[in-house]
Structure 1
């Protein structure tokens, strides 16, 4: 797909991968709208990136998205790209008696339900464009589970499955002018998804390198962009998923819960 002269909505566009993609795509001659939940952060981003537009909503709360399609149709009727990058990640001890129901569902609501909701709400607009694209950000942990991140791993596996199903429904409905891309990042410490992880961590990929890989994959209409160490995780998930997950668990549980569970 030609990555110029598009109108693009990016959820989670005020930080991390979403912001990195927003800034790169804007310099390529696209109109970028960043969607975020924090009004103060949106103001900061627009100050530093005056060519952006913004929409305030919390993808984990579908009721805040109900007016989005009408707003897009009124202000950006040529919107033809959606990138779902909003995401949160936490390590959780499942034996912790203080682990609340809200904590159990927070990542599901943001990472999975938020992605599904935005795609579903904007699908009618996207299929009307001459060419369109949906990019859903999953993770290398969609292929092999991290025992320290049980909810994150589950949500990203869900994003992977949903993205594949969405692509096939579009093809079956003869809307194959709407390209569906799954962007599969490895660890990208610069995103601060986890504040305890440094850029020296094993498997870390520079944000700029991830953006490069994403742009190339989108240009080539790849159905899936396994970036950096995510390539090895996908292969391990196909060849030896049980052994890989057990080995990862031995390392990561000690790292995140050094005193045991």
Structure 2
């Protein structure tokens, strides 16, 4: 599949998994566009990777999303792959209201659910206008399949939503030029997403970032896009397999 990816837009690529994949795609000679909120980090990546393109945008600003995408697709009309990777993860205890705030709940749902749906709404029709095979990907999580709600009562269901949403749009896009992939990571080390929670995850060993990247790329490099659906690594693999071997039998065209 990776051979068919030429111009790749990574929405949320300034750190962690997004940055690791941006660097890997760049090393493969792909044309990469990285977006993120932090202009300084974007400039650092552009300097380090030389010929990548960067674009500052905050997907939590929902009203601005259509304008940003219009600029991106006007500047790079040959975008054939879009990967929505941005996300946030807050830990809280439902028994103690002081461990969270209404603002944090809204922010987590907005970033992890509402923004990806709005992005997809504006991106998919543009990909369908291409005359070649295209790819739309969103990062979910193994926690969307087997939640740890006592620690992440909002994050887990937001990722379960992303999984269900991708199943739905994959059904809708059957027999089109748009392939829908769900990237399903386990607990991966070296990400800003999980840095806040390290002390609460004692005893859990994260999958090293390089190992995770290698495992995902083995699948991307060896499979046709149309044959890939949930692309998982590490401890997320048996979670996805459990869903595929049970619930999926009740679902049409997934």
TM-score class, shorter-chain normalisation, is 0.7 to 0.9
**Counterpart contact for 2:5–2:81, Cα < 8 Å:** no
In structure 1, the gaps of 5 or more residues are 241-261
Q: 1:203–1:229: 8 Å Cα contact kept in structure 2?
A: no
2: CA distance, partners of 1:17 / 1:235: 22
Per-residue CA distance 1:68-99 (angstroms, 9 max, x = gap) = 23212321111010111111112111233333
Please give the secondary structure, in 2, of the residue aligned with 1:29.
Answer: coil
**Pairs aligned (count):** 237
> What is the CA–CA distance in structure 2 between the aligned matches of 1:41 and 1:158, rounded to whole Å?
29
State the Cα distance separating 1:234 from its structure 2 match. Answer: 3.6
| Length-normalised TM-score, structure 1 | 0.83
CA distance in 1, matches of 2:107, 2:180: 26
Q: CA deviation at 1:54?
A: 1.3
CA RMSD of aligned residues (A): 2.3
Between 30-39 and 42-51, report the one with greater CA deviation. Answer: 42-51
1:16 corresponds in structure 2 to: 16
Please name the residue that 1:227 is paired with. 233
Does the 8 Å CA contact 2:14/2:36 hold for their aligned counterparts? yes
- Residues 204 and 169 of structure 1, relative CA distance in 2, 3 Å threshold: same
Cross-structure match for 2:138: 136
CA 1:4–1:202 in structure 2 vs 1: closer, same or farther (change >3 Å)? same
Q: Distance in 2 between matches of 1:236 and 1:170?
A: 24
1:107, 1:151 within 8 Å by CA — same for their partners in 2? Answer: yes
Please give the residue correspondences for 1:10-159 in structure 2 after superposition, counting only pairs within 5 Å: 10-98=10-98, 99-129=100-130, 130-146=132-148, 147-159=150-162
What displacement does 1:112 show? Answer: 1.6
Cα deviation, residue 119, structure 1: 1.7
- 1:122-175 deviation digits (Å, cap 9, x = unpaired): 11211122110011110000111112101110110011001111111001xx31
Whole-angstrom distance in 1 between the partners of 2:97 and 2:202: 33
TM-score normalised to the size of structure 2? 0.85
Aligned mates of 1:180, 1:67 — CA distance in 2: 23
- 1:201 Cα deviation after fit: 5.3
Bigger shift: residues 109-118 or 80-89:
109-118
- Does the aligned pair in 2 maintain the 1:144–1:237 contact within 8 Å? no
Q: Which residue of 1 aligns with 2:193?
A: 193
Kindly tell me: are residues 136 and 5 of structure 1, through their superposed partners in 2, closer, same or farther at Cα, counting changes over 3 Å?
A: closer
Gaps of 5+ in 2: 247-254
1:28 deviates by 1.1
C-alpha distance in structure 2 between counterparts of 1:213 and 1:64, whole Å: 35
Structure 2 match to 1:259: none
